[in-house]
Amino acid sequence: MSQSAAEPIEPILTRNFGRPDSHTLTAYRETGGYTGWAKALALEPAAITDAVKRSNLRGLGGAGFPTGTKWSFVPKGHAGPIYLVINADEGEPGTVKDRYLLERDPHALIEGMLIAARAIGSRLAFVYVRGEYVAPWRRFSAAVREAYDAGYLGRGLDVVVHRGAGAYICGEETGLISSLEGRKGWPKLKPPFPAIKGAFGAPTIVNNVETICQVPHIVNRGPEWFAALGTQTQGGTRLYSVSGRVRRSGVYEASVGVTLRQLIYEHAGGVTGNGRLKAVVPGGASAAILRADEIDVTMDVDGLRNAGTMAGSAGVIVMDETVSIPDALRVVARFYAHESCGQCTPCRETTGWIYRMTERIVEGRGRKEDLDTILDVARRGTGTTICAFYDGAVGPYISYIEKFRAEFEALIPHA
Amino acid sequence: MPKLTIDGRPLEVPPGTNLIEAARRLGIEIPHYCYHPALSIAGQCRLCVVDIEKVPRPQVACNTVVAEGMVVHTETERVLETRKSIMEFHLINHPLDCPVCDQAGECWLQIYYMKHGLYDPRMVDEKVHKPKAVPLGPHVILDAERCILCSRCVRFCDEVTGTSELGIFHRGDRSEIGLFPGQELANKYSGNVVDICPVGALTDRDFRFQVRVWYLDTQKSICPGCARGCNIEVHVSRRRVHHAEGRRVVRLKPRFNEAVNKWWICDAGRYGSAFVDGDTRLQAPARRDGEKTLEVAWTEMIPLAAGRLRGYRADEIGILASPKLSNEDLFLLRRLCDALGVGAVDYRVPPARPGDEDDFLIRADKNANTRGAELVGLGGADSRAILAAARERRVKCLWIFCHDLLASAWPEGEVLDGLLGAETVIFQGTNANPTSAYAHLVLPAAAYPEREGTWTNFEGRVQRFRQALPPLGRALPDWEILGRLLQEVQGAPRPARAEDCFRDLAATVPAFAGMSYRSIGDAGQLVQTARP
Amino acid sequence: MTPSRPQFTPEQQAEVRRLQGLYPDPQGALLPVLHLAQDVFGYISEEVEEYVAGLFGLAPAHVHEVVTFYTMYFREPKGRHIVSVCHNLSCHLAGAPGILDHLRRRLGIEPGGTTDDGRVTLLAVECLCACEMAPMLQVDDRYEGNLTPETVDRLIDQLQ
């Protein structure tokens, strides 16, 4: 929760994190809360969407899609209900930031929802909180009650706080919708896209917690201000969750243009273990791994895409030289095998198989063909499934092996 | 209607058509497992990918609707490679137990792997184990390890029968098809899940380990079970007579007919063919002499039966025809009645209990041809009055087709008095029953898979069933028995084929005017009165 | 633990109806109602699945699909306390395997098991998204991080 040491910025999302009462309506109001909403009330919905477009705000849940553009997909003049759904099903390994926002700045999310709902014409919003997040759910639910009591909610927008029940796939927006509808969290075929036919058959916009928490500030201080905080193609700051072998793991707010090196060495205080960096996952477990010599990249969506990985949820997991990459892949592969929803054949069948192969390799029972088999299976499976879960799994499968192949081979007899 | 191009061939299809159906119109088969035209789109198997110009990645054809100007390629290198990959993935945890799997020979894993296989088995790890040989209900058995989780069976129970017995439980590669604990898959259409299962996960309990499918012959037919007339295929085993415990008809499968039964048949029909090879089949003409029953040759029986019929006055003969007879049989019977001058003919015998009925396929009328019997214009007498006349000795010769009057709604005493009251009881049918025991003359009839014919279903659709087997023993098709009798009685030449009878019928009875076996075809044809 | 015929109290039934009323389709309340059922009945038995299915007019098979899909519904009696140790990457790097081994020895059970006295059910779970406090675990509703064998012992000692 510190500011960037490298390029000090004014804390925005974290501005109140230091206050013990930051979750209360009083504290929120004292620090300018709900003034963005007041301004938004004076704006036409289209003007709000336009401002968000100009701010270059991009989805901070993982996909990095431009938020204003997403909002504009809702059919104009739609007669029936339109739903706003907040994805608080934080689950990407390495990511903790939405928990912080739910617990420490819940009214920012509510205010952002009010503004977003006005922009897309929604009168009913759902906040899907992962089931294990009991304390954040209670904290956020209390804030919703405060907002009702204060008259922010219940006059044009109702908010239902929904609890999940333990499934990573519900963080995928259509898996989340299925789950919200009371079913297994199986992602849905597209088309139709949620903005046309989403939750309960109605146009639905699904946004991440952090994304929506940015919205009041954009309306308050203008899209140009927000855009200027970031890079050419992405505005603002974001919350980086830094963990693994670092001195100070935690949540850090910095520009989307901060470099990975700055995050590791300045914000998080450098590498522990033997002190020498070996590898780092920059955007949650599904992001391809980077070697120590690849960390001079900016953390924005396009910067990391150009580096062959992804910004994802900005969950940074740091590994020093003592970490076994094959063992790390085994752990990650176990996760994907456990969390595959089982709907599409490629993902259902190969996540388990690849986990079994990595387990065998780590246990010294690898076969020399295994590495090429994993690479080939992962490449063949890429892009063949309904949702992005499998492509996310492929990120580590391929990058861990390609970048640290010798380490895997060293574990395989006769390789 | 959108115009598009598939593999370089232009076509125009109705809006909303998906690419699997559009390609099918051109005779292009896009491999698929989870897609079924009767069910919602699941998009789970990922096999039906195609390339579409201007779309960066291959798309699943099942969930892609045609659009104006779309250019589709179903066999690009990328598509073929993807199919290979998907096939490999489907088989990762599949037990590859084809040698002991009933589905072998008609399994879409085998069929597509032959065409699109990677042929490079590299899965050496332990497979995921799941329940095997689990009876789901009276008819269906599950091997969850063979299942590729296409969800067709689940969607069938959700969307077609609305009974929702099945689900996919757990997740990832632990996912498995199953019933809610303690429930059974016992809906009236449960056997259809076996047909739509593209692999050997769901198989028929009564077909299990009976005969290899490649030893079967198939013939187009019609289910005789009720007035719906569901289109079926009869699968018969003639080449391995020692298999399937000697059964010749080893299974029935639905045959698609959009207007009648779509893709489905009910379990009662599907599993109702045992009578064809059953112990009660009448296999030889016979006459009862006191307590003795003597088998006789047809050459002896026909003059004998004709002699009895001619030996009575026309008003001493009562005929209980059957709505299970074909249109051809009924027409020849009508001609015979005309020749003999018999007026006491009816086909209606009320069942002891009203037949089971639903709002889908199953009709309360368990006779295949009630409508045909109405239209052919047989008799006009009242069946119960005929029986009463026999009881009162006014009818001396009672000719009963198929019916077991002792299983009818009529009181047993009334029936027995009628049967015992007649001097001559002739029974003509496929199987013995308590009524046939009272017959003095027994004329064994061929069962429907052993002969040609047509039935007219309750909507007035005339449908052909075809011969899959020779008649058992010395049984003959009803039309042939009747034709021989007519020849004996009248000296008229007898028809050589069922089709000849139908031609005469069409020339005589207005409802059937203009129809022929050719015009009826595989889909059936509505009688004149039923046409819009 | 679960009566053979589960039944919500009138108050709980009212809560079910309130939850169902929050969604455009009442089925949206299935997950929350299953949470409620688990709180009330201890775990989701097949009888509870059937009961809940009845409350929603759903086929029991479809409720069973949901219950078996999510990790937080218990289908067998569980301990009075659930201790879920995260074994995903950040916690793994921070020593989760050692924490899990310590708990195995301390409790005498494998992950998935429940102590004989019914006090604790031990689970190894995927990322709970508290990587900044790795290694961490969840004990009932609470997250506990920066674990050492000693802090884990103290946590277990406090469980009744």
At B32-48, the pLDDT tens digits run 999 999 999 999 999 99
- Is the same domain home to B450 and B361? yes
Per-residue pLDDT, B528: 86
Q: Is there a contact between C141 and A91 if contact means CB atoms under 8 Å apart?
A: no
Structure tokens at B206: 């009564």
Q: How far is CA B339 from CA A280, B334, B386, B424, in A?
A: 99, 9, 19, 19
Suggest the residue from C45, C64, C126 to mutate for an interface test with chain B (most B CBs closer than 10 A).
Answer: C64
B469-482 pLDDT, tens digit per residue, is 999 999 999 999 99
DSSP label of B181: T
Percent of chain A with pLDDT over 70: 98
Residue ranges of C 57-76 with Cβ closer than 8 A to chain B: 58-62, 64-65, 68-69
Per-residue pLDDT, A7: 56
Angle at A309 between CA A305 and CA A315, to 5 degrees: 110
Element (H, E) at B9: strand B9-12
Q: What are phi and psi of C137, to 5 degrees?
A: -145, 165
- Is the same domain home to B120 and B241? yes
Contact residues for B301 (Cβ-Cβ < 8 A; gap 6+): B285, B287, B441, B443
- A225 to chain C, minimum CA–CA distance in Å? 30
Which chains border B (3 or more CB–CB pairs < 8 Å)? A, C
Beta bridge partners of B3: B12
Question: C30 vs B291, which has greater pLDDT?
Answer: C30
> Does A388 have pLDDT greater than 50?
yes
Q: What is the pTM for the complete model shown? A: 0.95
Contacts of B166 in chain A (CB under 8 A): none
- What's the CA gap between B130 and B120, in Å, rounded? 25
- B97 to chain A, minimum CA–CA distance in Å? 18
B75 within domain boundaries = yes
Q: What's the average model confidence in pLDDT over A366-382?
A: 97
- What's the CA gap between B202 and B179, in Å, rounded? 13
> Does A29 have pLDDT greater than 60?
yes
Q: Is there a contact between C131 and A92 if contact means CB atoms under 8 Å apart?
A: no
- What's the CA gap between B466 and B469, in Å, rounded? 9
Amino acid identity of residue B441, one-letter, is: L
Identity of the residue in C50, C58, C69 whose CB atom sits nearest the CB atom of B170 = C69
CATH class of segment(s) A325-409:
mainly alpha
- What's the CA gap between A335 and A351, in Å, rounded? 9
Contacts of C30 in chain A (CB under 8 A): 182-183
- Is the same domain home to B263 and B164? yes
> Does A2 have pLDDT greater than 60?
no
Suggest the residue from B88, B96, B146 to mutate for an interface test with chain A (most A CBs closer than 10 A).
Answer: B88
Contacts of B167 in chain C (CB under 8 A): 59, 61-62, 64-65
Q: Are the folds of A25-228 and A325-409 the same?
A: no
SS3 state of residue B460 = coil
> Does B290 have pLDDT greater than 90?
no
Per-residue pLDDT, A173: 96
> Which of B83, B107, B136 corresponds to the end of one domain?
B83
- What is the residue extent of each domain of chain C? 10-69, 81-158
Angle at A285 between CA A284 and CA A287, to 5 degrees: 75
DSSP label of B473: T
Does the beta carbon of B59 lie under 8 angstroms from any beta carbon of chain A? no
* CA dihedral sign of residues C128, C133, C136, C139: negative
> Does C1 have pLDDT greater than 70?
no
Per-residue pLDDT, A8: 64
Contacts of A384 in chain B (CB under 8 A): 46, 49, 58, 82, 85-86
Residue B70: give its domain's CATH number. Answer: 3.10.20.740
Amino acid identity of residue B496, one-letter, is: A
Q: Tell the residue number behind the tokens 């088999």, with chain if given.
A: A373
Structure tokens at B238: 């003639």
- What's the CA gap between B502 and B508, in Å, rounded? 10
> Which of B246, B277, B308 corresponds to the end of one domain?
B277
Beta bridge partners of A85: A126, A206
CATH class of segment(s) C81-158:
alpha beta
| Residue C2 pLDDT grade (very low, low, confident, very high; cuts 50, 70, 90) | very low
Burial group, residue B27, by CB count within 10 angstroms (0-12, 13-18, 19+): exposed
Amino acid identity of residue B453, one-letter, is: G
Distance of CA B217 to the CA centre of its chain: 15
- Is the same domain home to B350 and B486? yes
A142-169 pLDDT, tens digit per residue, is 999 999 999 999 999 999 999 999 999 9
Does the beta carbon of B169 lie under 8 angstroms from any beta carbon of chain C? yes
Contacts of C134 in chain A (CB under 8 A): 243-244, 249
Per-residue pLDDT, A4: 40
- What's the CA gap between B380 and B377, in Å, rounded? 8
- What's the CA gap between B108 and B197, in Å, rounded? 9
A311-357 pLDDT, tens digit per residue, is 999 999 999 999 999 999 999 999 999 999 999 999 999 999 999 99
Q: Give which of B401, B380, B370, B376 is closest to B504, Cα–Cα.
A: B376
Contact B486, B338 (CB under 8 A): no
- What's the CA gap between A170 and B143, in Å, rounded? 30
CATH of domain C10-69: 1.10.10
C59-89 pLDDT, tens digit per residue, is 999 999 999 999 999 999 999 999 999 999 9
Contacts of A349 in chain B (CB under 8 A): 89-90, 92-93, 173
B475 within domain boundaries = yes
Q: What is the span of the domain harbouring residue B423?
A: 286-530
Amino acid identity of residue A166, one-letter, is: G
One DSSP character per residue, C48-82 reads HHHHHHHHHT--HHHHHHHHHHSTT--SS---SEE
What is the Cα gyration radius of chain A?
21
Q: Is there a contact between B172 and A343 if contact means CB atoms under 8 Å apart?
A: no
Burial group, residue A191, by CB count within 10 angstroms (0-12, 13-18, 19+): exposed
Across chain A, mean pLDDT equals 96
Polymer length in residues for chain C: 160
Amino acid identity of residue A67, one-letter, is: T
A42-94 pLDDT, tens digit per residue, is 999 999 999 999 999 999 999 999 999 999 999 999 999 999 999 999 999 99
> Which of B83, B115, B134 corresponds to the end of one domain?
B83
- Is the same domain home to B398 and B421? yes
One DSSP character per residue, C122-142 reads EEEES--S-GGG-S-EEETTE
Q: How far is CA A156 from CA A77, A162, A218, C20, in A?
A: 17, 19, 22, 21
Suggest the residue from C70, C71, C93 to mutate for an interface test with chain A (most A CBs closer than 10 A).
Answer: C93
Does the beta carbon of B43 lie under 8 angstroms from any beta carbon of chain A? yes
Per-residue pLDDT, A6: 46
- What is the residue extent of each domain of chain A? 25-228, 325-409
Give the alpha-carbon dihedral of B158, B159, B162, B164, to 10 degrees.
-10
- What is the maximum alpha-carbon separation in chain A? 71
Structure tokens at A119: 């922009």
Q: Is there a contact between B183 and C60 if contact means CB atoms under 8 Å apart?
A: yes
Angle at B498 between CA B493 and CA B501, to 5 degrees: 55
- What's the CA gap between B135 and B204, in Å, rounded? 10
Per-residue pLDDT, B532: 63
B229 within domain boundaries = yes
Q: Is there a contact between A328 and C89 if contact means CB atoms under 8 Å apart?
A: yes
Per-residue pLDDT, B239: 83
Contact residues for A90 (Cβ-Cβ < 8 A; gap 6+): A96, A97, A98, A99, A130, A133, A171, A209, A313, C129
Contact residues for A173 (Cβ-Cβ < 8 A; gap 6+): A85, A87, A194, A206
- What's the CA gap between A207 and A215, in Å, rounded? 11
What is the Cα gyration radius of chain C?
18
Q: Is there a contact between B180 and C68 if contact means CB atoms under 8 Å apart?
A: no
Contact B23, B29 (CB under 8 A): yes
SS (HEC) of chain A: CCCCCCCCCCCCCCCCCCCCCCCCHHHHHHCCCCHHHHHHHCCCHHHHHHHHHHCCCECCCCCCCEHHHHHCCCCCCCCCCCEEEEEECCCCCCCCHHHHHHHHCHHHHHHHHHHHHHHHCCCEEEEEECCCCHHHHHHHHHHHHHHHHCCCCCCCCEEEEEECCCCHHHHCHHHHHHHHCCCCCCCCCCCCCCCCCCHHHCCEEEEEHHHHHHHHHHHHHCHHHHHHCCCCCCCCEEEEEEEECECCCEEEEEECCCEHHHHHHHHCCCECCCCCEEEEECCCCCCCCEEHHHCCCECCHHHHHHCCCCCCCCEEEEEECCCCHHHHHHHHHHHHHHHCCCCCHHHHHHHHHHHHHHHHHHCCCCCCCHHHHHHHHHHHHCCCCCCCHHHHHHHHHHHHHHHCHHHHHCCCCCC
B399-419 pLDDT, tens digit per residue, is 999 999 999 999 999 999 999
- Is the same domain home to B373 and B262? no
- B168 to chain C, minimum CA–CA distance in Å? 6
In this structure, CATH architecture of domain A25-228: 3-Layer(aba) Sandwich (3.40)
- A132 to chain C, minimum CA–CA distance in Å? 7
- B24 to chain A, minimum CA–CA distance in Å? 22
Which chains border C (3 or more CB–CB pairs < 8 Å)? A, B
Percent of chain B with pLDDT over 70: 100
> Does B213 have pLDDT greater than 70?
yes
- What's the CA gap between B396 and B425, in Å, rounded? 8
Distance of CA A74 to the CA centre of its chain: 22
Structure tokens at B438: 């009272």
Across chain C, mean pLDDT equals 96
B395 within domain boundaries = yes
Q: Which of A45-49, A127-131, B69-73, B116-120 has the lowest mean pLDDT?
A: B116-120
Q: What's the average model confidence in pLDDT over B202-215?
A: 94
Q: What's the average model confidence in pLDDT over B220-238?
A: 97
Q: What are phi and psi of B65, to 5 degrees?
A: -95, 145
Contacts of A335 in chain C (CB under 8 A): 88-89, 126-127
Does the beta carbon of B124 lie under 8 angstroms from any beta carbon of chain A? yes
> Does A5 have pLDDT greater than 50?
no
- What's the CA gap between B321 and B308, in Å, rounded? 17
- What's the CA gap between C119 and B8, in Å, rounded? 69
Q: Is there a contact between B169 and C64 if contact means CB atoms under 8 Å apart?
A: yes
DSSP label of B127: P
B93 within domain boundaries = no
Contacts of B168 in chain A (CB under 8 A): 184, 342
Does the beta carbon of B295 lie under 8 angstroms from any beta carbon of chain A? no
Contacts of C132 in chain A (CB under 8 A): 96, 241-243, 249-251
Q: Is there a contact between B169 and C46 if contact means CB atoms under 8 Å apart?
A: no
Q: What's the average model confidence in pLDDT over B225-254?
A: 92
| Residue B111 pLDDT grade (very low, low, confident, very high; cuts 50, 70, 90) | very high
Suggest the residue from A84, A90, A96 to mutate for an interface test with chain C (most C CBs closer than 10 A).
Answer: A96
- What's the CA gap between B163 and B187, in Å, rounded? 7
Number of domains in chain B: 3
Contact B462, B222 (CB under 8 A): no
How are strands ordered across the β-sheet holding B9-12? Answer: B9-12, B3-6, B71-73, B49-52, B59-60
> Does B291 have pLDDT greater than 90?
no
- Is the same domain home to B74 and B109? no
